[in-house]
Amino acid sequence: MAASLNKVILMGNLGKDPETRTLESGTVMCRFSIATTETYKNRQSGEKTSHTEWHNIVLWRGLAEVADKYLHKGDKVLIEGRIRTRSWEDKESGQMRYSTEILTDQMQMMGSNKKAENTENASITQEPNADSFIEESPTTPEENLPF
């Protein structure tokens, strides 16, 4: 039997603030959507064209708590996970509904698209001084082994 792999890696921007809830069991769950945009040149017209795809992201437990605390609309994230499609019957119409989601295994916050609105939120760059470096412990000949 051949092996299979269900792995997704996406980098995009949040379309809205994360929605977080705690289940009766105490497990934290978070949902949000991210947009990924590809830009290409139309072969016939030569115009630059872009296509945006929206992805439904689901996080559980610790990752959900981090997302709830730190992520906001417009932030860029890197998501690694797997695709899962779930289905349910709509209570009102009786029709089957489907939703494809990315169940997140790992998340990396890549930064925010928002500009600092005041100096309190602005990042400060300063030149390093001699006191800011950690002094290395002195080495003895035994510590200079090639392995």
* Structure confidence at residue 140 (pLDDT): 44
Q: What is the pLDDT of residues 118-143, one digit of tens each?
A: 333 333 333 444 443 333 434 444 45
| Residue 41 falls inside a structural domain | yes
Is residue 51 assigned to a domain?
A: yes
Which segments of the chain have a pLDDT < 50?
A: 115-142, 145, 147
Instruction: Decide: 8 and 53 in contact? Cβ < 8 Å.
Output: no
pLDDT of residue 123: 35
What letters, b where the CB count within 10 A reaches 16 and e where it falls short, cover 75-107?
bbbebebeeeeeeeeeeeeeeeeeeebbebeeb
The token pair that represents 77 in the structure block: 């994230």
Task: Let me know if residue 60 belongs to a domain.
Answer: yes
Q: Where are the alpha helices (DSSP H) in the chain?
A: 61-70
- Number of separate domains in the chain: 1
Q: How far apart are CA 12 and CA 64, in angstroms?
A: 17
pLDDT score for 30: 96
Residue 114, pLDDT score: 58
Residue 83 lies in a domain: yes
73, part of any domain: yes
The H or E element containing residue 14 is: strand 8-14
- pLDDT for 9 equals 97
**pLDDT value of position 81:** 96
- Please state whether the predicted TM-score (pTM) of the whole model is above 0.85: no
Give the whole-angstrom CA distance, residue 31 versus residue 101.
10
Q: What is the pLDDT of residue 139?
A: 42
Burial class (CB in 10 A: 0-12, 13-18, 19+), 131: exposed
CATH number for the domain harbouring residue 36: 2.40.50.140
The answer to whether position 58 is within a domain reads yes
- Is the residue at 3 inside a domain? no
- Is there a domain that residue 40 lies in? yes
Residue 41 sits in which domain range? 17-111
